[in-house]
Amino acid sequence: MNQAATARPRDEKGPSPFASRNFTVLWVATVLSNIGTWMHDVGAGWLMTSMSPSPMMVAMVQTATSLPVFLLSLPAGALADIVDRRRLLLLVQVGLCVVAAALAWLVWAGLATPVALLLFTLAMGTGTALIAPAWQAIVPSLVPRESLQQAIAINSVGVNISRAIGPALAGFLITAVGLALPFAVNAVSFLIVAAALLWWKPPSDRNRSLPPEQLWGAMAAGLRYARNSSALKATLVRAVAFFVFASAFWALLPLVVRTVLQGGAELYGIMLGSVGLGAVLGAFLLPRIRKACGADRVVMLGTCGIAVTLAVVALVPVPAAAIAASLLAGASWIAVLSSLNVSAQTALPDWVRARGLSIFVTVFFGSMSLGSLLWGQAASLFGIPQAMLAAAVCALLAIPLTWRWKLQLGAQLDLAPSMHWPAPVLSADVRHDRGPVMITVEYRVAEASREAFLEAMDKVGEQRRRDGAYAWGIFEHTGEPAHYIEYFLVASWVEHLRQHDRVTVSDQDQQVSVRRFHQGDAPPVVRHYLAPDRASKG
C-alpha cells in the first residue's frame, strides 16, 4: 500500500454530462428531491430540540439517518448489481413518499414524540440505504466514460445546491407556517423523482449468458473484491479518517445554534444554506485545485478546513463568524467528498460497481453514525465547544497517520472487460452449481528471473481473488526448480465462468507481463479440476 507518489487521474475532457438528456432530467429531479431531504433534516433536527434538548437525543437524529445505510448498504449494493436498478429506485421512491407524508401528518396533528420522530427518521434512512448504491451505479450508464468524473462532480454540486436552498427554505417555512410543512414538501419531492424514473428509458440490460448471482454470493463477491483492491482499500481508510471527525459539525450544529449562538430555526437554516453555498463555490474551484495539488492534498486541505470550522464555531460564539465558518465547511466538505467518491468510482469495474460503492457508502455512514454518537456523548459530558475542539484536533492528527494510503490509484487503469480468456475445453457439459473448481497454470521460468516473476505473480494473485477466487497460491517443483504451478480455487463452475467475464484490460496487461517470464514456444499450460460429483452417484 505504500506508494511513492500520489496517483493522479487521467486528464479526460469529454463532453459535458448535460449533453445527455437522461442525465439532465434525473439530475434536476434529484436536486429537487434533495431540497426536500434537506428540509426534512432541518425540520427533524429542530423538532427534536423542541421536544428534547438533550445533546444525545439530538445527535440520535443524525444516527437514525445514517445507521440504516451503514447496516443495509452492502446488501442494497448487491441487490443493485443483480436486479433492475430503475425498478428498485422507483419502488423505494414511492415508499419514501408515503413515509414522509405520514410524518408530515403526525407533526401537523401535534402527535409527534421523540421516539416517533426517530422511528420515522430510521425508516427514511432505510429507504436511502436501499437506493444509494443504485443511484451512484447508474451514473456510468447516463454519460460517456470520458465524462464520468465530470458527472460525479456535478452530482456533488447538485447535492450542495440543494443544501444551499433546502435548509434556508425550511427555516423560513418553519418560522412562517409551521414545522409540518418541510416534511410535506419532502413527500412531494419523492414523487418528482418517481416521475423522472418513469420517463427514463435506460438501455436494455446487458445480455446475460450466465444466471444472475444470488444475494449472499454477490455480497461475498463484493467484500472479496474490496479486500483485494488496493485502490478501494486506500479510499476507505481515508474516508474513515475524515468522516468520523467531520461528523461532529453535523451532529452538534442544531445545539450550537440553539444553546451556543442563542439562535432560532432561521439561523439554523442560514448556516446550513451557507454550507451549501460554500460547497457550490468550492466545486467550481475544485478542478483547478485538484490539477495543481492532486487528490491527496485536496483531501488534506479539506480536512484542515473542517478542523478550522470546528474551532471557530467552538471558540467564537458569534452568528456572523459561524456563518462564515459554514461557508468554509461547505467548500471543505465538497473537496473531500468529491475526491473520495471519484477515487472509489475509478477503483471499480462495472460488474461490482454498486457493491463497491455500497461498501464506500457503508464506511461513510458508519463513520458518521459512530462520530455522531461519540461527539454527542462528549458534548453531554464535557460541553459542546470542548467536543468540537477535540474533533478538530483529532482530524488534524489523522492526516499524517493515513498519508501513506494514496487516493485514485485506479484512475490510470482500464477496467473494461478484456474477454481474452479462452473458453475452457470440456469433455462433457458441467452443471453450473458443481464445485469447487481448481484451476492450475504451469510456468517455466529462468532462475535469474525468479524473484521478479514471483513479485509479478503476487499482483496476479490479487486479481484472481478480486474476481472470485477464495484461495490462491504458487508452488515450485522440487525436482525442476524452473517449473512453477499457480493454482486458484473458486466455489463453483459458474463462478469460474464469471471470472472470464470479469477480467479487465489492465488485468490482461499484467498477465501478459507475467507470461513474458515463461520460457518455451508453447504457452503456459492451463488445467481445470472439478471436485468429484458425489451427489450424482446415488
- For the stretch 150-163, pLDDT in tens is 777 778 778 767 76
- Residue 294: left if φ>0, alpha if ψ -120 to 50, beta else—which one? left
Exposure on the CB side of residue 175, measured as CA atoms within 13 A: 14
- Backbone φ/ψ region at 383: left (φ over 0), alpha (ψ -120 to 50), beta: left
Beta-bridged to residue 490, according to DSSP, are 437
pLDDT-derived band at 51 (thresholds 50, 70, 90) equals confident
Flag whether pLDDT at 399 surpasses 90. Answer: yes
The residues, any chain, with a CB within 8 Å of residue 504's CB and separated by 6 or more, are 349, 413, 414, 415, 416, 417, 418
Least confident of 148-157, 268-277, 346-355: 148-157
Place of cell 479526460: 12
Is it the case that residue 538 has pLDDT exceeding 50? no
User: Residue ranges per domain, the chain?
Assistant: 17-203+212-401, 437-537
Give strand pairing partners of 438.
489, 529
Q: How confident is the model at residue 13, as a pLDDT?
A: 55
For 480, list phi and psi in degrees, rounded to 5.
Answer: -130, 90
> What are the backbone dihedrals phi and psi of residue 61, each rounded to the nearest 5 degrees, phi first?
-60, -45
Q: pTM to 2 decimals?
A: 0.76
Give yes or no on whether 17-203+212-401 and 437-537 have one common fold.
Answer: no
437-537: what CATH class? alpha beta
pLDDT at 64 over 50: yes
Up-side HSE of residue 167: CA atoms within 13 Å toward CB? 27
pLDDT digits (tens, 9 = 90+) for 441-495: 999 998 889 899 999 999 999 999 999 899 999 999 888 878 999 999 999 999 9
Adjacent-strand bridge partners of 530: 437
Are 391 and 310 in contact by the 8 Å Cβ rule? The answer is: yes
Which H helix or E strand runs over 471?
strand 471-476
Cell of 210: 450466465
Cα separation, 416 vs 346, in Å, equals: 11
pLDDT band at residue 298 under the 50/70/90 scheme: very high
State pLDDT tens for residues 9-30: 444 456 778 888 888 899 898 8
The grid coordinates of residue 96 equal: 419514501
Predicted local confidence at residue 98, as pLDDT: 92
CATH topology of domain 17-203+212-401: Growth Hormone; Chain: A; (1.20.1250)
Cα dist. 391→121, 308, 374, 406 in Å? 25, 11, 10, 23
Rg (CA), the chain: 26
Element (H, E) at 122: helix 114-142
For the chain, how are helix, strand and coil distributed in percent, rounded to 5?
Answer: 70, 5, 20
pLDDT at 139: 82
